[in-house]
């Protein structure tokens, strides 16, 4: 008995989830165990005799599933026994209901009889929730379904997703768009999308699918019957009365000798392409002209063809209507798309007229207009904005108009001549909203193509100083008037503003000051101190910058060579007499007894290149004509130019030439690295810079700089980049010498021998550090251990010992050094002055070959295989001796490191290398 009770207890604790409400058979099975547990070993065959009332339901993970329930059942323990009513608890395990033995079978409390079940429970056990046995969900679950599948606040089941899964929110986002969960649908996420007649919701509730165009559009007009086919946009109309056409819309179209009313009408006299919408009726009238008389030709044998196929009245389900008059053949296409497509041809011909006309069906484009700016535009209150609407390439006769979406009013006249602009000025907050450019087409009545711009008017609290205004996005201030911003005209001068906003002139008239900003006091009979002064004695061309003040002094000379005195001097620009103060004060005229002065404060406001200024005197009976020439101030010419590569130790001359500059330009060579002047300043180019015995430090930029006394502070530069390279390296071959360091010979102890050399510090190579080098007589050296392989093989090798080795093979072979030849090595340290020559050659070679400038080795290992012969070699190998005694090779391998980078050089004696040792061993 104890064993049995223990088994039932363990079984009842193994609770699984997700069972539908138990059937009567499930309850009867549970009752069998519960009766046995309550009353001992007997035979029970319970039978549910009445309805079952649920008292508690603990929600499962899916809709209509539960983990536990408590219920009131009326049953007979065995057939023929009296009915009994008890309350019991059941749990779901592995999809199967079983009774919870701990709760037993009790009389139902009166408080739960006839009461709806509790569903806000995560357990249905005796002792958890009073009479109802409900252990309530966390308070966070007290809305929506008010259910849970656990005790925590995150275990709420507030709604059911579309797939039946419990969800801890009411948003239905997991089910997809357009799903809602409300009390009216028991908080089950249900598709809330509604569709018009003829449409049904698609499977994922994202849109509506057409199922019947007959129900959706009712396309058959005037009593016509719509017959639906598959797919759902395929239909035909059975028309009644005098209506015909695809949609029974064409009435009395069978009118001989004319185009129906409200139909696009086109007359054809020769070959042409027509661009019409294929969704609206079109009527084509075909006529032929007598080119001698110019009259229309009468004919009665006219024929219409589509391609090469003759068309007849009534073809294409009545969509083709053909009629005629004495000189016109009409073709009406009720629904053109059922007859022709873009690219098709229609031919009208007459044998009696001896003519035909080919009509090509072109594409009819009716697209949304282009607008600029587009999308959403943010502007500041009080600013201005222009919206532009352009034609995207529409066919036919499109018309355009700007519309205010808020009230539908037309903001511009309707035009068929875009671009169409809409100017919005002094914009206020009420102007926020949508502005639509609408396009209509006479060939498609009732169809609009719209492109909308959204205007977002923002207030701006940014403050700007005088002469500045806020930019369009309220991020900064920009200059609108330098006169208001800086008040540049001094001493009472009047500032005159031009465009752009930093362009102005000062009118200094009446101030007794002159100059760009009215800062120079006028002195009669002289040139201002800040002006370029030019003396004129006869006709000449002057080349001066028109951005700086210039003063022209005009004098006349007598036959005796003296200056003539005069007081009636006159200045003219072209034929116009100049007066003091002209051009907003930019003309200043003064004189002495023998000189007439003309000062142009801002020459560009008075003259331009090519203009003439004439100084004349009636009493002196002379004049001088001054032509304003171009003032050139260009970058100097240099040779050689661009980037120049030279070899260290060589010489180079850089030459700077005048490009044809005006005035008095000066030139100098400058080193850009420190700004120092490398040559004297000269106004007599060409200017040469000689660089001799150039070293690596000379690499860099060299600039020829030009300045001009007429433009102080302005430089014109041309730069040459010098790239100093090391001379091509000479392949080093180190001659061993015991006076520099010890030379070690490797002797043959067996068929092979390997010698270990310890490096003074680890050598970094191929991403790893090595402390030893192993030299083999077989023409190899290894970093990873002894490498004793007699015969060479190609890399990579599948042989285990070779595949896993870090080995270098200057010339790998089976060498015999018992009689002749040697294998030696010598190490060098940069701390040894006697090794300088060896290091210099190797360092220079690495720098030149690798194009690096800073390499300097600190340790070097030189390995030499000298006069080595292939095996076998010796006096007792008579057969081979004569053949291979003179067959030998000499080569070196140099390993050098600077402590971080490691380089390996193979050096071979030219002309001494025998490449086919393997064949020598076997050739007779």
Query: Measured between alpha carbons, how far is residue 536 from residues 375, 433, 600, 620, 767 in Å?
Result: 64, 68, 15, 15, 80
Q: Mean pLDDT for the chain?
A: 85
Res. 798 pLDDT band, cuts 50 70 90: low
Find residue 815's DSSP bridge partners. 870
439, pLDDT greater than 50:
yes
pLDDT tens, residue by residue, 294-337 = 788 999 999 999 999 999 988 988 889 998 999 999 999 988 99
Q: Read off the tokens for 218.
A: 């009712």
Query: Measured between alpha carbons, how far is residue 152 from residues 122, 138, 149, 389, 873 in Å?
Result: 10, 6, 9, 60, 91
End-to-end Cα, the chain, rounded Å? 103
Cβ distance 255 to 323 under 8 Å? yes
Res. 825 pLDDT band, cuts 50 70 90: very high
Give the per-residue pLDDT at 267: 86
**DSSP assignment string, 815-835:** EE-SSS-EEEEEEEETT-GGG
Lowest-pLDDT range, 132-136, 138-142, 460-464, 535-539?
Answer: 460-464
Where helices occur in 223-346 by DSSP H, the ranges are: 315-318
282, pLDDT greater than 60:
yes
Give the per-residue pLDDT at 250: 64
Res. 751 pLDDT band, cuts 50 70 90: low
CATH (one of 1.20.1600.10, 2.60.40.10, 3.40.50.150, 1.10.275.30) for 370-458: 2.60.40.10
Give the per-residue pLDDT at 340: 93
Give the per-residue pLDDT at 728: 60
Whole-structure pTM value: 0.31
Res. 395 pLDDT band, cuts 50 70 90: confident
Report which of residues 137 and 874 the model is more confident about.
137
Strand ranges, E, within 77-138: 84-93, 96-99, 118-124, 134-136
pLDDT tens, residue by residue, 134-175 = 999 999 999 999 999 888 888 999 999 999 999 999 889 888
Domain ranges of the chain: 2-157, 252-361, 370-458, 523-625, 637-725, 743-920
Res. 807 pLDDT band, cuts 50 70 90: confident
Give the per-residue pLDDT at 521: 62
517 Ramachandran zone, left/alpha/beta (phi>0; psi -120 to 50) = alpha
Give the per-residue pLDDT at 876: 44
Find residue 534's DSSP bridge partners. 552
Give the per-residue pLDDT at 923: 27
734, pLDDT greater than 90:
no
753, pLDDT greater than 70:
yes
695, pLDDT greater than 70:
yes
Strand ranges, E, within 672-738: 676-677, 687-691, 700-708, 716-725
Res. 610 pLDDT band, cuts 50 70 90: very high
Give the per-residue pLDDT at 5: 30
Give the per-residue pLDDT at 10: 29
361, pLDDT greater than 80:
yes
% of the chain with per-residue pLDDT over 90: 40
- Per CATH, 370-458 and 637-725 having the same topology is answered yes
Name the residue with tokens 């260009």. Answer: 634
Distance CA 873, CA 813 (A): 14
In the chain, the largest separation of any two C-alpha atoms, in whole Å, equals 164
pLDDT tens, residue by residue, 623-651 = 999 999 888 888 999 999 999 988 877 89
State the average pLDDT over residues 339-350.
94
Distance CA 43, CA 45 (A): 7
Question: Which fold, 523-625?
Answer: Immunoglobulin-like (2.60.40)
Res. 919 pLDDT band, cuts 50 70 90: very low
Distance CA 19, CA 24 (A): 14
Report which of residues 168 and 725 the model is more confident about.
168
Cβ distance 251 to 243 under 8 Å? yes
The architecture that CATH gives domain 637-725 is Sandwich (2.60)
Neighbours of 767 (CB within 10 A): 5
816, pLDDT greater than 80:
no
Give the per-residue pLDDT at 493: 86
DSSP 462: -
Task: Identify the three-state secondary structure at position 837.
Answer: helix
Cβ distance 339 to 316 under 8 Å? yes
State the average pLDDT over residues 660-685.
88
In this structure, the strands spanning 448-458 and 376-380 are parallel
Neighbours of 75 (CB within 10 A): 23
**Residue among 144, 138, 249 nearest 188 (CA):** 144
Res. 27 pLDDT band, cuts 50 70 90: very high
pLDDT tens, residue by residue, 207-240 = 899 989 999 888 888 778 899 998 888 898 888 6
Res. 36 pLDDT band, cuts 50 70 90: confident
492 Ramachandran zone, left/alpha/beta (phi>0; psi -120 to 50) = left
Task: State the Cα angle at 450 between 383 and 211, rounded to 5°.
Answer: 145
Name the residue with tokens 């000499």. Answer: 890
Neighbours of 357 (CB within 10 A): 19
pLDDT tens, residue by residue, 576-597 = 999 988 998 899 998 999 999 9
Rg (CA), the chain: 53
Q: What CATH number was assigned to the domain covering residues 252-361?
A: 2.60.40.10
Give the per-residue pLDDT at 921: 30
Highest mean pLDDT (candidates 15-29, 491-505, 600-614): 600-614
Distance CA 814, CA 887 (A): 13
Res. 9 pLDDT band, cuts 50 70 90: very low
Cβ distance 225 to 241 under 8 Å? no
Give the per-residue pLDDT at 717: 93
8, pLDDT greater than 60:
no
Give the per-residue pLDDT at 266: 86
396 Ramachandran zone, left/alpha/beta (phi>0; psi -120 to 50) = left
State the average pLDDT over residues 750-766.
80
């Amino acid at each position: 008995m104890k064993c049995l009770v223990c088994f039932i207890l363990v079984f009842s604790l193994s609770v699984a989830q997700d069972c539908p409400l138990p059937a009567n058979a499930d309850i009867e099975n549970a009752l069998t165990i519960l009766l046995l547990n309550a009353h001992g070993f007997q035979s029970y065959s319970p039978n549910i005799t009445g309805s079952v009332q649920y008292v508690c339901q603990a929600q499962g993970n899916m809709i209509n599933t539960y983990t536990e329930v408590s219920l009131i059942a009326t049953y007979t323990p065995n057939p023929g026994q009296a009915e009994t009513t008890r309350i019991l608890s059941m749990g779901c395990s592995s999809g199967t209901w079983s009774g919870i033995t701990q709760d037993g079978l009790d009389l139902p409390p009166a408080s739960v009889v006839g009461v709806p079940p509790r569903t806000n429970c995560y357990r249905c056990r005796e002792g958890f929730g009073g009479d109802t046995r409900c252990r309530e969900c966390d308070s966070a679950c007290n809305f929506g379904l008010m259910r849970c599948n656990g005790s925590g606040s995150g275990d709420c089941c507030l709604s059911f997703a579309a797939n039946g899964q419990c969800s801890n929110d009411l948003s239905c986002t997991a089910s997809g768009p357009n799903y809602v969960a409300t009390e009216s649908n028991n908080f089950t996420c249900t598709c809330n999308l509604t569709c018009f007649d003829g449409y049904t919701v698609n499977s994922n509730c994202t849109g509506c699918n057409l199922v019947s165009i007959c129900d959706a559009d009712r396309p058959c007009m005037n009593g016509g019957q719509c017959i639906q086919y598959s797919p759902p946009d395929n239909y035909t109309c059975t028309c009644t009365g005098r209506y015909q056409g695809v949609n029974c819309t064409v009435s009395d179209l069978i009118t001989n000798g004319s185009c129906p009313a409200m139909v696009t009408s086109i007359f054809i006299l020769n070959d042409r392409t027509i661009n019409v919408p294929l969704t609206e009726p079109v009527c084509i009238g075909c006529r032929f002209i007598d080119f001698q008389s110019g009259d229309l030709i009468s004919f009665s044998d006219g024929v219409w063809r589509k391609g090469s196929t003759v068309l007849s009245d009534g073809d294409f389900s009545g969509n083709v209507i053909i009629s005629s008059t004495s000189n016109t053949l009409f073709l009406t296409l009720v629904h053109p798309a059922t007859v022709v497509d873009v690219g098709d041809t229609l031919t009208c011909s007459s044998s009696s007229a001896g003519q035909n006309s080919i009509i090509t069906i072109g594409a009819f484009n009716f697209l949304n207009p282009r607008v600029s700016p587009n999308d959403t535009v943010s502007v500041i209150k009080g600013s201005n904005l222009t919206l532009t609407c352009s034609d995207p390439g529409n066919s036919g006769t499109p018309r355009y108009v700007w519309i205010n979406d808020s009230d539908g009013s037309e903001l511009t006249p309707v035009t068929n001549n875009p671009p169409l602009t809409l100017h919005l000025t002094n914009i206020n907050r009420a102007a926020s909203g949508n502005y639509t450019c609408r396009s209509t087409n006479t060939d498609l009545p009732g169809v609009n193509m719209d492109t909308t711009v959204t205007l977002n008017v923002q207030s701006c609290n940014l403050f700007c100083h005088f002469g500045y205004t806020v930019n369009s996005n309220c991020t900064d201030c920009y200059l609108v008037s330098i006169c208001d911003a800086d008040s540049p005209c001094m001493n009472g001068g009047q500032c005159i503003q031009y465009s752009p906003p930093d362009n102005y002139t000062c009118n200094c008239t009446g101030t007794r000051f002159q100059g760009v900003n009215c800062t120079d006091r006028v002195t009669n009979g002289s040139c201002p101190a800040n002006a370029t002064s030019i003396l004129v004695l006869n006709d000449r061309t002057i080349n001066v910058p028109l951005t700086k003040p210039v003063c022209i002094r005009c004098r006349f000379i007598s036959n005796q060579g003296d200056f003539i005195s005069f007081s009636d001097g006159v200045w003219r620009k072209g034929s116009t007499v100049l007066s003091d103060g002209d051009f907003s004060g930019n003309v200043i005229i003064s004189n002495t007894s023998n000189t007439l002065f003309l000062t142009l404060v801002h020459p560009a406001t008075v003259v331009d290149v090519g203009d003439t200024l004439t100084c004349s005197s009636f009493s002196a009976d002379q004049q001088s004509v001054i032509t304003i020439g171009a003032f050139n101030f260009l970058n100097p010419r240099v040779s050689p130019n661009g980037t120049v590569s030279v070899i260290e130790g060589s010489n180079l001359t850089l030459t700077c030439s005048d490009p044809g500059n005006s005035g008095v330009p000066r030139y100098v060579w400058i080193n850009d690295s420190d700004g120092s002047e490398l040559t004297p300043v000269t106004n007599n180019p060409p200017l040469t810079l000689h660089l001799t015995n150039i070293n690596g430090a000379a690499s860099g930029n060299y600039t020829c700089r030009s300045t001009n006394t007429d433009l102080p502070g302005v430089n014109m530069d041309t730069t040459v980049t010098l790239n100093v390279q090391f001379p091509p390296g000479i392949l080093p071959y180190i001659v061993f010498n015991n006076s520099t360091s010890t030379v070690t010979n490797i002797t043959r102890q067996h068929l092979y021998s390997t010698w270990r050399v310890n490096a003074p510090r680890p050598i970094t190579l191929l991403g790893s550090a090595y402390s030893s080098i192993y030299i083999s007589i077989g023409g190899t050296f290894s970093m990873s251990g002894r490498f004793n392989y007699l015969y060479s093989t190609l890399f990579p090798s599948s042989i285990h010992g070779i595949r896993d080795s870090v080995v270098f093979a200057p010339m790998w072979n089976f060498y015999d050094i018992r009689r002749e030849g040697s294998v030696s090595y010598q190490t060098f340290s940069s701390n040894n002055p006697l090794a300088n020559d060896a290091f210099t050659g190797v360092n220079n070679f690495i720098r030149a070959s690798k194009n690096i400038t800073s390499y300097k080795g600190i340790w070097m290992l030189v390995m030499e295989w000298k006069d080595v012969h292939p095996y076998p070699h010796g006096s007792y190998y008579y057969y081979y001796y004569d053949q291979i005694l003179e067959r030998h090779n000499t080569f070196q391998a140099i390993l050098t490191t600077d402590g971080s980078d490691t380089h390996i050089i193979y050096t071979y004696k030219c002309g001494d290398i025998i490449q086919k040792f393997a064949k020598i061993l076997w050739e007779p």
